[in-house]
Each structure stands twice: as C-alpha cells, then as structure tokens.
C-alpha cells in the first residue's frame, strides 16, 4: 500500500491515521540525526557490501539521488523528511543515521523497495544491516518462506511485506522483535497459526493481516496489545470465538474481522470499552445474541457492519440516532421487531435485508437514501411503494404472482444495456446500484439486490466496462460489462411458472492482469461462492482460474427447481481471494450475464400485467369490438381453413422451440437454388443432398435437403433444429433457418467458401495452410468441441469428428459441421447404443466395439484429426512405407524414438517447435485407448493454448499393439461402399470420391467379425 498524504473521506481515515503514526514514529526515531550532513561521515563498510549484494540479488539500481557504488548514505538517504523518503521517485530508498562515533559513521536504518515487481527471496545479507528499524518491501513478487533470521533484526519497528508471494507459516522468531509497532502482512501468502511468541509484541500499534490462510483461534494475547489502533483479520480461516480480551484494546479506532466459519460463537460484549472506534466490521463471524444498546456509546463510530451473523432481538432505537454513524449493515441476521422511527441526519446507508423485521416503514424512508429492506415481513402502503418500488415483491413470501405465474424465463445483461446476441434477447440491467440498494423491473419479472461497501475504495463502482476484449466466445457483447459487488449480490426471477429450469451464468475476469505476468498485480484473486435457491452450487469460484486466464469467457449451467414461483441466484463473497490487489477495495463477485430458461413447455403467457388504470377502457373497447371481429374471423377462417390446414400442422411442431428458428418458404429456397439445379449441388450425405443457394437479399447459403426416404421424420427434424439452434459458437456452422413444407424438410446453413478441411489438406484446393493457420484450426476446433461438451445447452456429443466435417470460412477459421449424427446426453449419464455411427479410422475403440458413447469419443476423433493436420496426410495412406501406412501407429513409433518432429508435413517450411510438440503430445493423449485417460476438451484447449502443462504420455494404446493390421479387401470390400459422400454445407465437391477411397486402408481388430464390424460403421461418412 503506497503511503501518501492526501485528503480522504471519513471512512478512509484509517490510512490517514496510519500515515500519521508512521510520520510521528519515523520522525522520533530519526530526531537524533539532526546533524546528519557531516561531510566526514561514511557508511559502515560491511553494510555497504550487504546493500550491494542485496541490490544485485534483487536486480535493483539505486536512484540518481544517491550513489550506492560510492557513498550510500548521501543525498536523500540523509533526509529527515518522511514524505521525501516516501516520494515515488525515491525508490528503492535507504535512510541512514550518521550520529555514531562522533558523527563519523553512518548506519542504514531504513530500506524501502516498494512496488517494483522484484523477484527472489529475502537474502541473509539483510542481517548485515543490524540497525534496520524500517523494512518495507510491499508489492513485489518475493517468494519462498519468510526467513526466521528476520527475528534477529532486534531494532526493527516497521515490517511491511504485503502483497508478495511468500509461503509457509509465520516464523516464531518474529516474536523476538519487541520494538515492532507496525506489521503489514496482507495478501502475502503466509499460512498457519499465529505464533505464541507474538505475545511479546507489546508495542504493536497497527496490524494488517488479511487475505492469507491463517488458521486456528485468534490468540487471547492479542488483547494485551493495548497500544493497538488498527487490527485487520479479514479473509483468513480463523476459528471462533473472538477473544473477550479484545475489551482491553481501548485505543482501537479500526477493527475488521471477517469470515469465521468454525469454532464457538462470539458475542459483542467486548465492544463496550472500545469507545474510540470509527470503523467496526465483524462480518460473517458467528456473532450471536442481541444488539447491545451500549453501541450508542461509541460516539466516533462511522461504519458498523455486523451482517451475515445470527443476531436476534430488536434493533435499539439509539443505534439509528448516533450522530457519527454513516454506514449500517445488519443484513442476514435474525433481527425482529420494527425499524426505529427516528434516524440521525448522518445515517445514509442502511442494509436490513434478510431479517424478520415487520410493521410499517418509518416516515424518514425516502429515495435519496441507500436502503435495502429486501426479504423481511414489512407491511407496505402506497407511499412506501412509491419510494421503494417493487419492495412488495421482495418480501420473504415473494407475493407477486404467487400461485398465479406469468413468466417462464428471463435473460439479463448484467451492468449493461439490452442486447440480442445470436437472436436471444438479454434485458438491460444497468440501473444504478449502491452499497444498500435493490431494483425491481417495471414488469415485476426480475429484480437485483446488492449489499456491501468496497473498503478503502474512494470510487464505489458497481459496474465494470471491459471494452469488448473478452476472448473464447462468439458473443463478446455479453461480456462488455460486469456487475460487481463487494459482498452479496442477488438476482431474482419473479412470477415464474413452477418446474425445472436451466440457469446459465456468464463470467469473464476483466479487472485483473494475467497470472503469468510475473507482476505483484498478477497475485490478485477474485474468489466467491454461488448459491441457487439457497443451495451452494459453486464454492471458492475463481473466474480466471476456471476460464484459463483473464479476458476469457466462461459460463456455468445449473438445473434448479422452482416450487414457489420465484428463483434466487446469490453471489456471495466469503472473504476469500485478495481485497487490495491490483488496487485497494477490489474484490467480491462479478457476473456478466444471466440466462434462465425452462426445461419444460411453458403454459404461461409471458406478458406483463396491464396498467390497472387502462383496464376499464380496454374492457369497454373489447366489449364493442369482439363480436364484430369474431364474425369477421369466422368468415376468414372458413375461406382459408382448407388451404392452411396442412401448413399449420407443419408449423405447429416449431412452437416448442425457443428461440424459434427463422423459417423459409419452399418457393424461396427453390428460387435460391435454381430449382435445386445439379450445377448448385455441393455434395450428398446420408440424409440427402446439399445445394448452394443465393437468397433474394443476396446472402449465399447452403441448403440441406433431407431425403424423404431417410428415417428422419418430422419429430426428428424438429429435434435437429432444436439442437442446432441451441448451440451458437464461432467455431460451429450456424443454422440460419429451416423449411417445413408438406413432406419437405430443409435446413439452411451459412455458406463456407473454403470448403472442408480434408480438401484443404489433401485435395487440389490452392490454400496456404502454413503453421499458424494449422495451429489455429486445431485450437479453434478444440474450442468448438469444448463448447459442445461443456457449455452448450443441451450438451452434445458430435460422434463424427473428422476433417471433412470441419469447414473453413474466408479467413480459414474452422467451423464444425453436421450435427445430424449428434446425440444429446444428460448430465452425468452416458449413452449406450447398439449401433455406432461415425467414420472408420476416427472411431474410439469403446464406441466401435461396444457402442459406448461419451464425449471422450469426440476427444479420440479430435486426436486423430490433430495428427492429420500436423502431418498433412490422412489417418491411413497406402502410398508410403508399410510402417507409415497407419498414422496413429507411426506417430507412436516416432514418440517412442523421440522423433516427434518427423511427423510434421514436409510442406511446412517454418513452424513453431514448442507449439508443434505441444500439439502432437496433446493428440497422443487424446487417442489413448481408455476413455478415462483422455483429457476433456476444455483441458485440451488449455494445453494447446499453453495455459496448463501437457500431461506426460507414457502408455502406448493397447489397440495399436493388439490389433492385427492386415489387408482385408477380399472380405470387407465386398460388403462395403467404397466411397460415402460427405454431407457438409460448405463444399463445392461434385464428385463422390473421397480422399481415402478404399475401406481396406483402415485398421481392423482381428478378433471382431468383419460383417459385424462393417455394420458398426454402417452409417459412416
């Protein structure tokens, strides 16, 4: 924390006081140095050597204001001004005392290396600075254990090592520093219990020890640090209770303890004597009992936070009349009774949410105050509702539309305006929130509530704008804003029809630097919990960790049950992570968007209620016009009934799909494809031909005409539309619409001009697939599959991952095509089929042999595909030596002989060796025989991108050693089709010939009956 003299608002006085103490204590310790500008004084030579060694180890250079190579104790090192010593331009800095030996010898008394991102450990040479009384090395990247020898610096009064990367416990030797008056160890990585030797530290005035992993009970001896003015123990893992000895700390002006989960409960009895407090935070610390009336005796108190405890009884009226109090947080307790009828003018922010308060709201309630009274049992009148609109919907019973639901979904762009990504409407959620504030939409469809104040942060900002820099998503507009909260952020769905829903939460960490940057700022951690309907669904959720880095999109899906017509999503900061990195007061939950959709067909209208004042006029108009309109409709329907009957039946099947896909008329598509002219035919697959078409608006599309002779009926067609419509990703071919006309079934896709990957790799297309392009194709395909497996709703197994199902757009960005063979599967279940559908050579062994289908089947296919991209050859190829015919076998041979780079396509004149090796090793992991040994696609993405280490490959797949590779042309070719056309939307291929034209090129496991084996691949390409 930079110590700067500047004007602060009342609640930042802790820093002002800290600065004051430092100035006084520092000045006192240096007052004997008034005659420092002695020209004959020199620095102790042993200290010069030690300082030079320390600076060399930390790769430091002294500023121009003093000369380390000549006389260190010169220039600003002799200043008596604390502000000059702390000046940012004077960094690193030392301070000297030259009063020794008749002012002929100087000793170094202060060392400051602040915010320079220096690495390494604290070197033992620091012991050669025995007069050191000030050591400040905050905001660097120092690591390793905190050395015990620091306890030998007996003169040390200030030790400030916050925001570093240390590890291990606090050395008990620190307790030897009996002159220590300031200990600043926030966010420095230490853990374990506070040593008993700290009982010796009777001079302590300021202790900040938050955001670490300290355990055990808070020691009783802390109550003997009677000179203490500031104590912070937030964000650790302490056990209760808070020691009653704290009543001795009568000099305290700031006490912050947070997040005690285990141990005994605490009472507030110890607070009675702490009459100098201005800042009292005891949040989530197992407090019980009543709110004592003697709190009013704390006449300097400005902020009181006792939220998330189990306090009972009524609120003392004297609490609301304290003339100093500005912020009051009592939410999430068990308080009862009414709200005090009077309030001081200074009290501006009040959180009483989630208690059992009742009665009428007092007359002082007005819209200029920050008030959160959500989830109580208040009796509200029309005046209250005007001042706090929507509060009637957010009482404990959530009465709005109770037993009379009106809605079945809602989607919010958190902190941002209304947007329509991929045709889905996300409502604006950008009204102002504050430390105690709630908003209910005018339609009473949803609401949001916040409780908490960002500590030590001047700008209380509850929305973050990231400028659209988020990656790994095809809907970056969803992540342009994020809603922030310092403590508790809740979203509510109101008036929902009861049933099962899918809740999808969208996240991206946009406020922190990458963790690999090596800066102290990269130590920042945003950690919070997610509750849905009161059940914790994510614990210690870290966005950047889960997403594989900052500025990366990630979403999480949850199934939840709505039983009382309302839904609650709660994002809660439990003190974990960091709170002062990369800047003060930067912590708490963050969310970019929310989508809630039903897992059933809704029966509600979804239409907001009408304005009551308009109802009478509406009824009058309806009474006059309905008979006339009814008669007209009868005549109209009589005329068109026969004509539209069949079309209505076809259209009816689309009603259950949300969002409803765009529809085309058959005549429109017929014109676009020139009556499905053979000249526009792109190819033909198992479900029918694909044609290139040009719509009337000039768009070029691919029209998939499903064959009537196929087994795909109307229901299957609708299922396919629903599946494809539900998944939208930049690396998936986009469905533009469909057509149902009588027995005709057509799907309309985007058209990909560069055809399929197999044509680019092995065909006659003149495409330049250099190494960056190939690597991007592989990584982007992996991202598309990861989306299908883990993010899309419903989750999807493609089942036929291969080069001909990867299409390339104008800039060679890959898109996965052909979901016609994909099967949906439920969470935590697998799908067993008696007939495998896929392509020989890409099929995982467990799927080909037993029909066992999980997402790991796609992982296997991806591994084969990755090897094809690297090598530039198909998975089996007869025009090479016998030991290289089968790509998988050849790749493993090269791996065993440490010759992996020999696998690369000879056409690649340049390549990135690290990327190539990483890609090959990931591919070998993907083609492991056991599904459990194959990584999930999200981990594949992380390994390819270099965000996580590639797991070592040690086991050669059993199918390579067990299978008997031999020519079975005589048996297999007689029963198999030699070429099966590809069914993809972007290829202009007129011929049905495939690059791999002969089925006998494929490896066949010898124990399997050939005809049965052929049948298992019968759906093929």
As annotated, the active-site residues are 800
Q: Count other C-beta atoms under 10 Å from residue 345's C-beta.
A: 7
Instruction: Give the strand pairing for 488-494 and 481-484.
Output: unpaired
Q: Are strands 105-112 and 42-43 parallel, antiparallel or unpaired?
A: parallel
Give the alpha-carbon dihedral of 406, 412, 415, 419, to 10 degrees: -120
Q: Which residues does residue 254 pair with via DSSP β-bridges, in sequence order?
A: 230, 279
**C-alpha to C-alpha distance for 573 and 527, rounded to whole angstroms:** 7
Residue 593: enclosing H or E segment and its boundaries?
A: strand 593-598
Q: Which two tokens stand for residue 220?
A: 């009783």
Contact 422, 725 (CB under 8 A): no
Sheet holding 310-313: strands in order across? 288-290, 310-313, 334-337, 356-360, 377-379
Task: Give Cα 531 to chain centroid, integer Å.
Answer: 15
How many CB atoms neighbour CB 667 within 10 A? 10
At 590, phi and psi to the nearest 5? -145, 135
Would you say 64 and 89 are in contact if contact means Cβ atoms under 8 Å apart? no
Nearest Cα to Cα of residue 87 among 54, 64, 67 = 64
The Cα–Cα gap between 205 and 182 comes to 6
Treating both helix axes as pointing N-terminal to C-terminal, what angle do 771-786 and 856-871 enclose, rounded to 10 degrees? 170
Q: How many residues does the chain have?
A: 1021
Distance CA 215, CA 238 (A): 5
C-alpha to C-alpha distance for 851 and 828, rounded to whole angstroms: 18
Strands 303-305 and 279-283 turn out to be parallel
> d(Cα 76, Cα 65) in Å, to the nearest integer?
6
Neighbouring-strand partners of residue 995: none
Taking each helix axis from N to C end, the angle separating 771-786 and 937-945, rounded to the nearest 10 degrees, works out to 150
Look-up of token digits 């291929």:
989
Q: Count of CB atoms within 10 A of residue 66's CB?
A: 21
Cα–Cα distance measured from residue 500 to residue 73, given in angstroms and rounded to the nearest whole number: 73
Question: What distance in Å separates the CA atoms of residue 636 and residue 231, rounded to the nearest whole number?
Answer: 80
**Distance from C-alpha of 205 to C-alpha of 904, rounded to nearest angstrom:** 65
Q: Provide the pairing of β-strand 93-99 with 254-258.
A: unpaired
Element (H, E) at 776: helix 771-786
Rounded CA-CA distance 381/840 in Å is: 72
């Amino acid at each position: 924390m930079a110590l700067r003299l500047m004007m602060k608002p009342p609640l930042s006085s802790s820093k002002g006081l800290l600065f004051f103490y430092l100035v006084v204590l520092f000045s006192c310790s240096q007052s004997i140095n008034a005659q420092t500008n002695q020209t004959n004084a020199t620095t102790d030579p042993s200290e010069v050597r030690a300082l030079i060694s320390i600076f060399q180890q930390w790769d430091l250079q002294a500023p121009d204001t003093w000369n380390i190579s000549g006389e260190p104790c010169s220039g600003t090192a002799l200043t008596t001004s604390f502000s000059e010593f702390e000046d940012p331009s004077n960094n690193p800095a030392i301070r000297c005392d030259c009063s020794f030996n008749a002012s002929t010898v100087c000793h170094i008394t202060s060392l400051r290396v602040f915010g320079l991102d220096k690495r390494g450990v604290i070197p033992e040479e620091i012991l050669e600075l025995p007069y050191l009384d000030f050591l400040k090395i905050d905001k660097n990247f120092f690591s390793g254990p905190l050395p015990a020898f620091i306890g030998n610096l007996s003169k040390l009064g200030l030790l400030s090592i916050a925001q570093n990367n240390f590890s291990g416990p606090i050395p008990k030797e620190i307790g030897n520093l009996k002159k220590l008056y300031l200990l600043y160890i926030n966010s420095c990585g230490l853990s374990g219990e506070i040593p008993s030797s700290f009982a010796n530290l009777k001079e302590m005035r300021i202790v900040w020890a938050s955001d670490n992993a300290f355990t055990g009970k808070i020691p009783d001896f802390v109550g003997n640090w009677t000179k203490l003015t500031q104590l912070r123990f937030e964000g650790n893992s302490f056990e209760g209770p808070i020691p009653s000895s704290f009543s001795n700390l009568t000099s305290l002006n700031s006490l912050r303890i947070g997040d005690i989960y285990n141990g005994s409960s605490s009472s507030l009895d110890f607070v009675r004597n702490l009459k100098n407090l201005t800042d009292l935070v005891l949040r989530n610390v197992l407090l019980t009992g009543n709110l004592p009336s003697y709190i009013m005796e704390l006449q300097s108190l400005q902020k009181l936070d006792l939220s998330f405890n189990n306090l009972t009884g009524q609120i003392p009226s004297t609490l609301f009349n304290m003339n100093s109090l500005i912020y009051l947080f009592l939410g999430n307790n068990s308080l009862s009774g009414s709200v005090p009828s009077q309030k001081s003018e200074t009290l501006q922010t009040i959180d009483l949410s989630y208690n059992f308060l009742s009665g009428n709201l007092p007359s002082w309630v007005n819209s200029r105050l920050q008030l959160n009274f959500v989830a109580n049992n208040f009796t509200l009148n029309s005046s209250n509702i005007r001042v706090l609109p929507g509060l009637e919907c957010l009482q404990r019973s959530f009465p709005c539309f109770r037993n009379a639901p009106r809605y079945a979904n809602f989607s919010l762009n958190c902190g941002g305006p209304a947007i329509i990504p991929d045709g889905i409407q996300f409502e604006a959620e950008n009204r102002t929130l504050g430390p105690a504030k709630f908003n209910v939409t005018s339609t009473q469809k949803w609401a949001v509530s916040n409780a908490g104040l960002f500590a030590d942060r001047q700008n209380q900002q509850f929305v973050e704008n990231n400028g659209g820099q988020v990656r790994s998503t095809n809907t970056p507009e969803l992540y342009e804003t994020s809603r922030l909260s310092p403590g508790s952020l809740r979203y509510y769905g109101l008036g929902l029809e009861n049933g099962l829903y899918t809740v999808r939460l969208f996240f991206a960490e946009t406020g922190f630097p990458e963790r690999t940057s090596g800066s102290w700022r990269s130590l920042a951690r945003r950690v919070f919990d997610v509750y849905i309907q009161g059940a914790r669904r994510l614990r210690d959720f870290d966005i950047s960790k889960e997403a594989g880095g900052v500025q990366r999109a990630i979403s999480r899906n949850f199934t939840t049950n709505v039983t009382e017509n309302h839904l609650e999503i709660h994002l809660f900061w439990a003190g974990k992570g960091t709170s002062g990195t990369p800047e003060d007061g930067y912590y708490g939950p963050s969310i970019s968007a929310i989508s809630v959709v039903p897992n059933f067909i809704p029966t509600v209208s979804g239409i907001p209620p009408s304005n009551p004042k308009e109802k009478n006029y509406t009824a009058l108009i309806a009474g006059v016009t309905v008979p006339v309109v009814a008669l007209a409709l009868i005549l109209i329907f009589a005329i068109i009934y026969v004509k539209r009957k069949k079309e209505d039946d076809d259209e009816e099947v689309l009603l259950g799909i949300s969002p409803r896909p765009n529809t085309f008329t058959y005549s429109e598509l017929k014109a676009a494809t020139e009556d499905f002219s053979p000249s526009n035919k792109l190819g033909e697959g198992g479900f029918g031909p694909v044609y290139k078409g040009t719509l009337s608006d000039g768009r070029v599309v691919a029209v998939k005409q499903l064959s009537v002779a196929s087994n795909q009926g109307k229901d299957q067609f609708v299922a396919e539309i629903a599946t494809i419509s539900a998944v939208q990703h930049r690396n998936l071919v986009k469905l533009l619409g469909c057509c149902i006309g009588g027995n005709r079934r057509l799907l309309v896709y985007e058209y990909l001009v560069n055809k399929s990957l197999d044509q680019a790799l092995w065909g006659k297309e003149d495409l330049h697939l250099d190494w960056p392009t190939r690597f991007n194709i592989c990584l982007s395909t992996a991202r598309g599959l990861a989306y299908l497996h883990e993010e899309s709703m419903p989750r999807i197994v493609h089942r036929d991952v291969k080069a001909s199902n990867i299409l390339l757009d104008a800039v060679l960005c890959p898109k996965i095509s052909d979901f016609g063979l994909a099967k949906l599967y439920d969470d935590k279940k697998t799908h067993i089929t008696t007939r495998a559908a896929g392509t020989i050579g890409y099929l995982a062994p467990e799927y080909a042999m037993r029909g066992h289908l999980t997402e790991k089947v796609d992982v296997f296919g991806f591994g084969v595909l990755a090897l094809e991209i690297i090598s530039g050859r198909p998975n089996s190829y007869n025009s090479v030596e016998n030991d290289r015919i089968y790509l998988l076998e050849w790749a493993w041979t090269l791996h065993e002989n440490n010759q992996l780079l020999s696998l690369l396509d000879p056409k690649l004149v340049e390549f990135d060796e690290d990327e190539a090796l990483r890609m090959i090793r990931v591919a070998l992991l993907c083609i492991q025989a056991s599904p459990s040994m194959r990584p999930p696609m999200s981990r594949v993405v992380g390994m390819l991108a270099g965000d996580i280490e590639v797991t070592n490959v040690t086991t050669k797949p059993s199918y390579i050693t067990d299978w008997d590779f031999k020519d079975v042309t005589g048996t297999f070719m007689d029963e198999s089709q030699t070429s099966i056309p590809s069914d993809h939307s972007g290829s202009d291929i007129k011929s049905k010939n495939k690059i791999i034209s002969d089925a006998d090129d494929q490896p066949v496991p010898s124990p399997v009956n050939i005809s049965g084996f052929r049948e298992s691949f019968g759906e093929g390409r």
